[in-house]
Amino acid sequence: MKTRLNRITTKTGDQGETGLADGSRISKTDVRIVAMGSLDELNCALGVLLAEPFFHHDMKAVKTILHTIQQHLFDIGSAIALPGHQVVNDETLAWLEEHVATYNAQLPPLTEFILPGGDRATALCHQARSICRRTERDMLTMQAEHPIDVINCQYLNRLSDLLFVFGRVLANHHNQQEQLWHNPPKSKKHGL
């Protein structure tokens, strides 16, 4: 197996630059690095969610899906780090869409918007969904300057849908009543 990281402290980034996989050096504030940072943050959020103890006993199928998604997020990062490299494809997108449809079909229909919360796992899933939405925005900003295959942004769009559905699945699994947003009557003032 090839060694990827031999030395952790390299000091090569001390001047505010970092390297892409093709060897080029760019600013750490470059939109590509911002997008890669958001992908990393999303992957970390999924890791925190997966650390919830019940994933070791229940919901093993969801756990497997989330682990696969973590791999896909690295693949999307590689498409940024190595221009011209592409791993995520139509088959990957279809796989994600299939899970959205399958798990959503098991849930009661929505009558109103859902407030993030519930038990810890459900709240963490909603937090990951929110990070995913920001990551998608960062990818679209990057796309304007450094185009990569649009399927990477589409993947993130579908992933935020799946994380929303998983938030509902987790609430249902833990018998948590979803907190719905109550549209206030127009005659009432905020908070009164």
Give the pLDDT score at 91.
97
Q: Please tell me which residue, 33 or 76, carries the higher pLDDT value.
A: 76
Number of domains in the chain: 1
* pLDDT at 142 exceeding the cut of 80: yes
What is the reported pLDDT for 156?
98
54 part of a folded domain? yes
* 48 falls within a domain: yes
What pTM, to 2 d.p., does this model score?
0.82
**Residues 89-110: pLDDT tens digits?**
999 999 999 999 999 999 888 8
- Domain harbouring 85, CATH code: 1.20.1200.10
Scanning the structure block, which residue is given the tokens 């070791």? 56
165 within domain boundaries:
yes
Tell me the residue range of the domain where 83 lies: 26-104+112-173
Gap between the Cα atoms of 60 and 54, Å rounded: 9
Whether residue 162 is contained in a domain is answered as: yes
- Residue of 97, 39, 51, 43 lying closest to 70 (CA atoms): 43
25-29, 50-54, 151-155, range with the lowest pLDDT: 25-29
Contacts of 45 (CB under 8 A, 6+ apart): 124, 127, 128, 131
Q: Which tokens go with 92?
A: 């990957």
For range 63-82, the mean pLDDT: 94
Confirm whether 6 is domain-assigned. Answer: no
